[in-house]
Amino acid sequence: MRTFCRALHEKERKRMSKEKFFIIALTCSFAWYVVPGYLFPTLSIISWVCWIFPHSVTAHQVGSGTNGLGLGSFSLDWTTIASFLGNPLVTPFFAIANVFVGYILLIYLIIPTAYWGLNLYSAKNFPIYSSSLFTANGDAYNVTAIVNQKFEIDMQAYEKQGLVNLSVFFAISYGLGFAAIASSLTHVAIFNGRYLMVTLKAIRIF
C-alpha cells in the first residue's frame, strides 16, 4: 500500500515523469497501430516471395502469411508479431521457446510432409491453410444443405454431398489439440497421480 501511494504522489526527480513517459508511449503506439491497422494493412504481413512470383500457387502456399506457411514473410505490426503467444514481453522465455519449437516443427516439417510428400487424405485437393470445409473435389462444403429445419443432420443429403474435408493444416491442428489434452492428463497422472486421484474422488468421478 505504501509503495502504491508513493507511486501516485511522490514527485519524480528524473528528467521525465512516469505519467509523461506513459502518455508518449501510448501516443506513439496508437499512432503506429493506425498505420498497419487502418491506413496500410499490407504492413501487417509482407511477403516478398508472393511479390516475386505473383502467379505461382506454390509460391503463395509457401510464402503467404495469411493463407500459407509464411516462409520469408515479416511484419511491421506489433499485434501480428505478438499474436503467437499473447505478449512475448511478459511471457517466460521457456514458454516462448517451447511454442516456437512446436511452431517450427508443425509449419515447416509436419505440414509440408503431409501436403507435398504424402498427399495425406488427398490434401492437394484443398488449400494448404484454411479453416473452411470442402467437398472431395475441393469445392466449398454447403453445410446448410445437410441440415433440416430442426437443425438436425439429414443423412440422405449428407451422403449425397459426401464427406466433410478439412485443409491439412486444420486437420493436423485439430489432432494436435486433442493430443495435447490427452498428454496433459497423462502428465498430471504420472507426476502428480496421488493428487489427481484425490481430486477425482472429491468430485465423485470414482
Q: Which residues, in sequence order, are CB contacts of 52 under 8 Å at separation 6+?
A: 59
Rounded CA-CA distance 206/185 in Å is 16
Rounded CA-CA distance 25/31 in Å is 10
Given a cut of 70, is residue 204 above it in pLDDT?
no
Q: HSE (CB half, 13 Å, CA atoms) of 67? A: 10
Q: At what angle do helices 168-191 and 193-202 cross, to 10 degrees?
A: 100
- Tens digit of pLDDT for each residue in 78-108? 777 777 666 666 778 888 888 889 888 988 8
User: In which band, very low, low, confident or very high, does the pLDDT at 74 lie, cut at 50, 70 and 90?
Assistant: confident
Q: In 122-167, which residue ranges form alpha helices assigned H by DSSP?
A: 155-161
Q: Identify the helix (H) or strand (E) that includes residue 79.
A: helix 78-81
Rounded CA-CA distance 130/140 in Å is 11
- Tens digit of pLDDT for each residue in 106-136? 888 999 999 999 998 889 999 898 888 999 8
Rounded CA-CA distance 146/126 in Å is 21
Is 171 in contact with 121 (CB distance < 8 Å)?
A: yes
Average pLDDT score over residue span 187-192: 78
